Amino acid sequence: MAFKFFRPVGQFTKISSAAAALILALSICVAARAETIQIVGFGDSLMAGYNLGPDEGFPEQLENALKAEGYDISIANAGVSGDTTSGGLSRLEWSVPEEADIVLLELGANDMLRGIPPASTEQNLDRMIATLKERGQQVILAGMLAAPNLGEDYAAAFNPLYERLAEKHEIPLIPFFLDGVAAEPSLLLEDGMHPNAQGVERMVERILPTFRKVLDERSQEGA
């Protein structure tokens, strides 16, 4: 005897409707994730959050501040304490995923503290910026200033290199990453070099306008 299997039309319609609703919901979720702007903070201990607690580092505080303003972003921390521009150049390919939309490039402080020739620092940063741009990733460059004890000649060679690179590659520049925090004991750790949680909060406040501008321009351009 042959058996015929059938499903009542009404039940089939309900299941089809439920499946369609599920597919639609999944599609919306995937689209929402795709629209989230992926940002990478690529730098040294100032980015890594040296001696800071969870959610106290710069990428984490910046992400929270931008999300509080309604921006759909995600920021990954690719900071390595002690990193130089040479070290950054050697790890760039595997530290910054190609899926990233924006890269905040913050390196050079350790070059300066070690007295590395500014020309070498500039060359390494130049190559990193060029590589990221070739990938189609937007770069925001965070600048640094030479410590006074290194002398006027070193400062004259080191300080202008960030502005030169920003102009050459036509990218946004944060003139001094530690603006408002350097030489402020209440905003620094005991080492007098790295920001504490309050110091990072001030850095984020100073840098927010740059990110707002970049993100708003991307939104207007439909990027």
Whether 44 contacts 106, CB under 8 Å: yes
Instruction: Give the number of C-alpha atoms closer than 13 A to the C-alpha of residue 182, restricted to the C-beta side.
Output: 11
Catalytic residue among 44, 83, 101, 194: 194
Whether 88 contacts 127, CB under 8 Å: no
> Residue 170 is inside which H or E element, if any?
none
Q: Is 72 a catalytic residue?
A: no
Q: Is 169 a catalytic residue?
A: no
Catalytic residue among 45, 83, 101, 111: 45
Whether 49 contacts 56, CB under 8 Å: yes
Q: Is 194 a catalytic residue?
A: yes
The contacts of residue 29 (CB under 8 Å, 6+ apart) are none
Instruction: Give me the active site residues, please.
Output: 45, 191, 194
